[in-house]
Each structure stands twice: as structure tokens, then as C-alpha cells.
A = this chain, B = another copy of it.
């Protein structure tokens, strides 16, 4: 399972979120052997639930795990502090990021704390977020606590 293939899963989740009228960020959690453990997308609008960012939705979908050693979290967008804290606390080993141009969260901090960070700088991820933020600035600011 290569990083680009994993990103495609996250991007499919983001597009589903956009189609639902939500914030188009998607993510997935993969096991050390490449097994898909969970996938999800931001559900602020759909469920009225501010706690479900893409990464926390994927983490939730993966259910209870004894250990996250060797796992990879792939996300279309640089993880915010909330989602970066999730990665650090649970010892997720790698984070594959679609892009960090439209928003940059805690991925440098994670790198300093031993998490392997792969930044793909994917043009599709950038375009998706750029268009969304332009069209829905209030919703985006609400989602990152910039209200």
C-alpha cells in the first residue's frame, strides 16, 4: 500500500463530505500491514458534531485498538492541533498529508516528537480546499476554532 493509494482513500472521503454539504476533509487509518482500519470525513455539518474532524472520524471508525504502533494516518489536509494531539497521544507512527498550503496545523510538532511525516503536496487536495474555503469562509473558520 503506497502513500498515493492511501491518499486516494482520504480524498474519496473528502469528496463524499463535500457532496453531503460538509467540510471536505477526509482521512483513513491503516495498519502496519496496509490493512484499512477505519476511514471517515469531517461531520460538523452532517451530524452537527464538532468533535468529528476527518482524522478523529477515521480513528473512531477503527474502533478500540491495543496499540497504534506502525499505523499510518492519511489525511487530505495538515492535521489541526486537535488531530495532531490525537496522533501523538495514541502513538500513531506515520502521518501522510495531502497538503498544508491552505491550512497548516501541528505536523512539524509531530515530526519533532518522532512521528514520520510525509507531505505529498497534492494539487487535487489543494484545489478542493481552496474552493471550499473561498465559498464557505464562516464554516471553515468555525471548524478550526477561528470564529
Contacts and interface: CB of A to CB of B under 8 A. Distances in A.
Interface in A18-59: 44, 48-52, 56, 59
Copies of this chain held together in the complex = 2
Chain A: interface residue count, which band? Answer: 20 to 34
Contact of A81 (B68, B85, B142): B85
B64 A142 contact: yes
Given A49-B60, A50-B64, A63-B50, A86 B90 contact: no
- Interface residues of chain A: helix, strand, loop or mixed (majority): loop
Given A50-B59, A50-B60, A65-B50, A86 B91 contact: no
Interface of A: 44, 48-52, 56, 59-60, 62-68, 80-86, 88-91, 105-106, 142, 144-145, 147
